[in-house]
Amino acid sequence: MAAKEEWSISDFEIGKFIGEGKFGKVYLAREKQSGYVVALKVIFKAKLEKYRSHAHLRREIEIQHGLNHPNVLRLFAWFHDETRVFLVLEYAARGELYKLLKSLHHFSEKRAATYVSSLAGALAYCHEKHVIHRDIKPENLLLDIEGRLKIADFGWAVQSNAKRHTMCGTIDYLAPEMVEKKEHDHAVDNWTLGILCYEFLYGVPPFEAEDEYGTFRSPAVSVEAKDLICKLLVKDSSKRLSLQKILKHPWIVTHADPSGSCCD
């Protein structure tokens, strides 16, 4: 989409409603001059005021707008009028990964490894930019028309070199140091990647198992996949497998599609 100093709602043809969040709605839209199709997120200022979330949104915009990676949903631009804030986002035509996981119940090792590889690469890029996402979960992952994964929703992300103390995110995916309200760093994203790897393969997060024997349940999963999960779900954050080593792990090398595309 072409760069422009100032945008307004008149620059877009608004199409169908495609989603809704806490603060507003998302519509399919077309930028009139270029014909480029985008997702237009409309956020109501009254709701931002109600939940005192202006600074939260400002931080999210600043972080996401500064990121440019194939597996991170692009934020092209933003603008506002008297009552609304508009975010011009990359359109991910295949929608939420969460819905695909629920419909398939669990993913094949090829699909799971491809998504984990894509996530590891995107998170490594974010961490190089000193961005910690802190809320990676299936609901915050989208798929484009070619089935490539996109990290979306940077609402809990932070950009800082310093260790953090804020407990945030979603309970099933929280790293131990966050649960224990200890300081944390980028390694919380590595923990979450281990949770997601498990959930992709088994259909539910690991700690929803009813007993100790339910943790590694059917369907059958390879020893290599279990090895990767175990090396990520380590309580000591300094001993978790690095994102670079995830990309070189035998399970990823064997199963992940280098193109990052999953359209089967």
The catalytic site residues sit at: 135
Q: Is 140 annotated as a binding residue?
A: yes
Annotated binding-site residue? 51? no
Distances (CA, A) of 3 to 7, 21, 31, 59: 10, 27, 11, 21
C-alpha closest to that of 74 among 158, 146, 18, 142? 142
Residues belonging to the chain: 264
202: phi then psi, degrees, rounded to nearest 5: -110, -15
CA distances from 106 to 115, 120, 195, 197, 201 (A): 13, 20, 14, 11, 5
Has 211 been labeled as part of a binding site? no
Q: Which residue has the tokens 């028309």?
A: 145
50 is in an annotated binding site: no
- Is 162 marked within a binding site? no
Confirm whether residue 199 is marked as ligand binding. Answer: no
- Separation CA 120–CA 247 (nearest Å): 7
Name the nearest CA neighbour of 85 among 121, 58, 105, 59.
58
Please state, in angstroms and rounded to a whole number, the distance separating the CA atoms of residues 73 and 141. Answer: 9
Annotated binding residue 245: no
139 carries a ligand binding annotation: yes
| Binding positions for ATP | 22, 41, 45, 90-92, 139-140, 153
Summarize the annotated binding site as residue ranges: 22, 41, 45, 90-92, 139-140, 153
